[in-house]
Amino acid sequence: MLLEVKNLSKHFAGLAALHRISLQIREGEILAIVGPNGAGKSVLFNLINGMLRPTSGQIHFLGEDIAGLKPHLIAHKGIARTFQTTALFDQLRVMDNLAIGYRLRNTHGFWSTIFHSRDWKEDRARTTANVMETLDFIGLAEKAFHPVSSLSQAEQKRLSIGVALISQPKIILLDEPTGGLILEDTDEITDLIKKIYKVAEITICLIEHKMRMVMDLAHRIIVLNFGSMIAEGSPEEISKNPEVIEAYLGAEYLA
């Protein structure tokens, strides 16, 4: 088991954003988390990556309890994520964003930087090589020196996935990777996610609203509603689940 969440709850001033969620993410799968707005999907990601502390419950990653650790430590353990509102270092260039993403693989510190020691040079060479490789992988090689602000919405989405990917994580949490994109761009991102799964062999957990895309990508789907898990299963099972249809479309569609 790669990641295991047990009885996880998060309350904001008494209001339960997540209530006793238990789920597992297996190594080498694509798991989709779906649910209406406010169901607690992003809260779950924020708990897993350490941006929020759980009110109660445990998060085990490779058998180790990581609940409540700081985000940068969790990143070092091999959990990468993207954000719902595309988060990038928008004052910097495309390649700088990726170099920052790769930084946790570097070992050199302050004095090595000042004296340009051998480990600094090795790290720099390795970073450059990985930045180039990732640029190719996400299809932004020609934009390496461009400022982030000059990228299109779809390119920014791809770069944000690249920033998560370059650290060679064991799992990537993608928070609405195609949110706000038109159909063609959505297909491109879908292809990129498939490529990450197949070529880079990284486990993927994604939050997504576009059901067509989820059905196409996911091996397994978990449905959240009002902070609770209401269904879990294969895409076929989920698409026939009456509770899911009710949560998404309203009870009158159940007839």
Partner 1 sequence: MPAIRFLLKKWFYVLLLVLAMALPFLITNRYYFQIVIMGCLFSITTLSLNLILGYTGQASLAHAGFFGIGSYGVALMTKSGISFWLALPLSALFAALIGFLIGLPTLRTRGSYFAIATLCFGVIVSIVAGSWIEFTGGYTGLVGVPHPTPLPLPLIGVIGFETQTAQYYLVLAFLLLTLLVMHRLVYSHLGLSFMAIRNNEALAEAVGVNTFAGKILSFVVANFFAGLAGGIYASLVGSISPSTASIDLTFSWLVYLLLGGAATLAGPIIGAFVIPVIMEYLQFLQEYRLIIFGALLIAVIIYFPRGLMGGFSTLQQRVREFYGQRRGVKHAVRS
Chain contacts with partner 1 (rule: CB under 8 A): 49-51, 70-72, 75-76, 80-81, 83, 87-92, 96, 99-101, 103-104, 106, 108-110, 113-114, 116, 120, 123-124, 127, 163-164, 167
Smallest separation (angstroms) from partner 1 to the CB of 229: 24
**Nearer to partner 1 (CB atom), residue 64 or residue 252:** 64
Smallest separation (angstroms) from partner 1 to the CB of 26: 23
**Nearer to partner 1 (CB atom), residue 102 or residue 197:** 102
**Nearer to partner 1 (CB atom), residue 140 or residue 213:** 140
Smallest separation (angstroms) from partner 1 to the CB of 149: 12
**Nearer to partner 1 (CB atom), residue 15 or residue 111:** 111
Longest dimension (CA), the chain: 72
**Nearer to partner 1 (CB atom), residue 100 or residue 144:** 100
In whole angstroms, what separates CA 136 from the centre of its chain?
20
Smallest separation (angstroms) from partner 1 to the CB of 129: 14
Smallest separation (angstroms) from partner 1 to the CB of 95: 10
**Nearer to partner 1 (CB atom), residue 104 or residue 245:** 104
Instruction: Please give the full DSSP string across the chain, using - where no structure is assigned.
Output: --EEEEEEEEEETTEEEEEEEEEEE-TT-EEEEE-STTSSHHHHHHHHTTSS--SEEEEEETTEE-TT--HHHHHHHTEEE--SS----TTSBHHHHHHHHHGGG----HHHHHHT-HHHHHHHHHHHHHHHHHHHHTT-GGGTTSBGGGS-HHHHHHHHHHHHHTT--SEEEEESTTTT--HHHHHHHHHHHHHHHHTS--EEEEE-S-HHHHHHH-SEEEEEETTEEEEEE-HHHHHH-HHHHHHHH-GGGG-
Smallest separation (angstroms) from partner 1 to the CB of 35: 22
